[in-house]
Amino acid sequence: MMACPLALGCHLSTTGGYRAMGETALSIGATTFAFFTRNPRGGTAKAVDPDDARELRELMAANGFGRLVAHAPYTMNLCSAKPAALDFARRALADDLARMESLPGNFYNLHPGSHVGQGTDEGIRLIVEGLNEALVKGQSTTVLLETMVGKGSEIGRSFEELARIIDGVREKQLLGVCLDTCHVWDGGYDVRDGLDGVLDEFDRLIGLGLLRALHLNDSKHARGSRKDRHERIGQGAIGLGAFAALVSNQRLAAVPMILETPNDLAGYAAEISLLRRLAEDRMDVSRPFCGEVG
């Protein structure tokens, strides 16, 4: 059986440094991974060790890794109504993008933000302003706007809202989208029974060339619930058949795919193995997945 070329991985801890994340990824069969650039709840970031970053780059090159998908802290809100929070978001974004240059050519994923009562138009204006301030010619990192569920005043609940942000940014070549399967499902898009239609709509409104990464998550809730509760692959409302279609869809073959399911490393290893098998031979998706590896 031919090896699957998919770049599959999961979120990993930065505790041991960059190279340690790469070694952990290899140990679970991953060829990409995600990591938080700083504490997910905000705060200062650990200084980059240039030697550690170089060793990760070498490990990735030697093992055929796809692009990494770093993640901004959850507290980054580029359209906050609070001046201090808005200032933190813009400073953290600039700092993180500078630090990402130690791992050139990768992705930096962020939640667009919540307008918290200011209205969608003002929220989008502020997000665009922040991105225009941060994105500069010559940087190698592509910033990804994540699709959101639409809880409360979240921006990014629809492809239209993401398109409006992208339209306002000057350095569009430095922008892309990360599509989270749980988020779009809970937000109302039918990635279970209408994946091709969803991709067609994305292409029409944004352009498939800007779909640069996927977060692969099943959902604990029905489509359109706006709940944002991730489930393990094949154990939720989206179902295993939909993920078989996702990982074998040729329009997504070059896109790194990151698991954010409720799992430990062994669970991620099992899901990565499962998804590779689905992509390679479209295994019988009616068979229950019990977390086995191999």
Rounded Cα–Cα distance for residues 102 and 107 (Å): 12
129 is an active site residue:
no
186 is an active site residue:
no
221 is an active site residue:
no
Global pTM reads: 0.93
Considering the chain, what is the average pLDDT of its residues? 93
183 is an active site residue:
yes
Confidence of residue 293 (pLDDT cuts 50, 70, 90): very low
- Residue from 67, 99, 111, 192 carrying the catalytic annotation: 111
41 is an active site residue:
yes
Digit-coded pLDDT (tens) for 20-32: 999 999 999 999 9
- Residue from 96, 186, 228, 271 carrying the catalytic annotation: 228
Tally Cβ neighbours within 10 Å of residue 46.
Answer: 12
Burial state string for 21-31 with b = 16 or more CB within 10 A and e = fewer than 16: bbbbbbebbbb
- pLDDT at 291 exceeding the cut of 70: no
Digit-coded pLDDT (tens) for 232-286: 999 999 999 999 999 999 999 999 999 999 999 999 999 999 999 999 876 455 4
- pLDDT at 205 exceeding the cut of 60: yes
74 is an active site residue:
yes
- pLDDT at 11 exceeding the cut of 70: yes
111 is an active site residue:
yes
Mean pLDDT along residues 28-56: 92
235 DSSP assignment: S
- pLDDT at 289 exceeding the cut of 50: no
11 is an active site residue:
no
What pLDDT was estimated at residue 128? Answer: 98
Q: Output the CATH code of domain 8-281.
A: 3.20.20.150
- Residue from 96, 146, 186, 271 carrying the catalytic annotation: 146
- Residue from 230, 268, 271, 276 carrying the catalytic annotation: 230
CA 102 to chain centre: 20
3-state SS, residue 163: helix
Q: Helix 18-27 vs helix 50-62: angle between axes, to the nearest 10 degrees?
A: 30
228 is an active site residue:
yes
Mean pLDDT along residues 129-157: 95
Q: Where are the domains of the chain?
A: 8-281
- Residue from 96, 161, 180, 218 carrying the catalytic annotation: 180
- Residue from 11, 90, 183, 232 carrying the catalytic annotation: 183
23 is an active site residue:
no
The two structure tokens encoding residue 45:
């970031």
Digit-coded pLDDT (tens) for 102-135: 999 999 999 999 999 999 999 999 999 999 999 9
